[in-house]
Amino acid sequence: MVLPLETLRAAPKVLLHDHLDGGLRPATIVELARDVGYGGLPATDPAELARWCHEAASSGGSLSLYLRPFAHTIAVMQTAEAVERVAFECGEDLARDGVVYAEIRYAPVFHTQRGLNLEQVVDAVRRGFERAEARYGIVLRQIVAAMRDRTDSLEMAELAVSFRDRGVVGFDIAGEEAGHPPKAHLDAFQLCRRENFSITIHAGEAFGPPSIWQALQYCGAHRIGHGVRLVEDMAIADGRVVKLGPLAQYVKDHRIPLELCPTSNVDTGAVATLSEHPIRHFLAEHFRVTVSTDNRLMSDITLSEELSRLSATFGLTLADVERLQINAMKSAFVGYDERVALIYGKLKPGFARLRGEPALAASLPPTA
């Protein structure tokens, strides 16, 4: 039975892979473009702009084409006020969708074209998130991203670490995988490892298992952003996994979280259709699977809708959805005590209510 979208919206959810500049409200883009004098928008009607962003991102079936609309979202995020507004609205939109914890990533260097320095960008995001937290009770944390085709990844890692006590919980590297291997940025990852700082790396989306292998074994990634092409290291016959390759076995055995973004993976051509997405194999083989949105504007998706599509396509039950949320919370980059508090204070009671079960107030979290 397909889970009703209303049920999924009411479920407490955790989001680990979402880009700040990929989730703007179309009306906000139009307003900010007017405020800053940006005349490059393909449409000034919010509904038409939303359609254009989704069609532009999904029509080419490649990551490079998927990234085209970001030129416009980034163009309007060049003042502290604009960045703070976008961060606040991100938190507001996620909270209204039932998200209780989210890690939002972005590349601060993209928001310095009109005079902001890197620290001012990160601080503007912090202010926006704190306002959303105070109003809606959602927990929001930042992941600072560097870009694979640039040479300033060490500076971005230093920036991320310097804000570790002000809402930044991780470091990422994003952008085109082909021709830009993660090991080219070893200095940045080694800094994070020396500083006991969490790392997630975009890998296994537009490039195959070697990208995932480098992210783990050279760079020390704690999570893999996407990782959908890990399936290429798995032998499949008659619709089921019959053998795991050494990399897939390592990922499974070491409980390395996969930040899967199914709708985005279809839009970028990483998989042909949702029904062919290997999430079904990862779930069947008990990998640490998490589900995220990637870019809510570009893929025209919310986390509830993402889960609804998976329920319709693969028969996910409410118990499956709960397991995915607990997987995500276990894999979050906040401290252990906060993860446990959210699992036992938000996730488990929320799903118990949806099942019509008694409150879990007496449930005790594990101590180890």
Domains of the chain, earliest start first: 5-354 (3.20.20.140)
**Distance in angstroms (rounded) separating the CA atoms of residues 238 and 119:** 53
CA distances from 232 to 37, 178, 196 (A): 47, 16, 31
pLDDT tens for residues 88-98?
999 999 999 99
- Range 150-163 average pLDDT: 97
For residue 296, what pLDDT band results from cuts at 50, 70 and 90? very high
- Is 232 one of the annotated active-site residues of the chain? no
Catalytic residue among 84, 103, 205, 322: 205
Do the beta carbons of residue 172 and residue 225 sit within 8 Å?
yes
Of 183, 177, 168, give the one whose Cα is nearest residue 218: 183
Give the model's confidence band at 362: pLDDT under 50 very low, under 70 low, under 90 confident, else very high.
Answer: very low
Q: What predicted TM-score, i.e. pTM, was given to this entire model?
A: 0.95
Least confident of 116-130, 210-224, 352-366: 352-366
Give, in order, the Cα–Cα distances in Å from 316 to each of 1, 12, 88, 230, 241: 8, 16, 31, 21, 19
State residue 365's pLDDT score: 62
**For the chain, what's the residue count?**
368
Tell me which of 54-58, 88-92, 211-215, 339-343 is least confident. 54-58
Average pLDDT taken over every residue of the chain: 94
Element (H, E) at 16: strand 13-19
Which residue, among 260, 193, 249, has the nearest Cα to 222 in the 3D structure? 193
- E strand or H helix at 337: helix 336-342
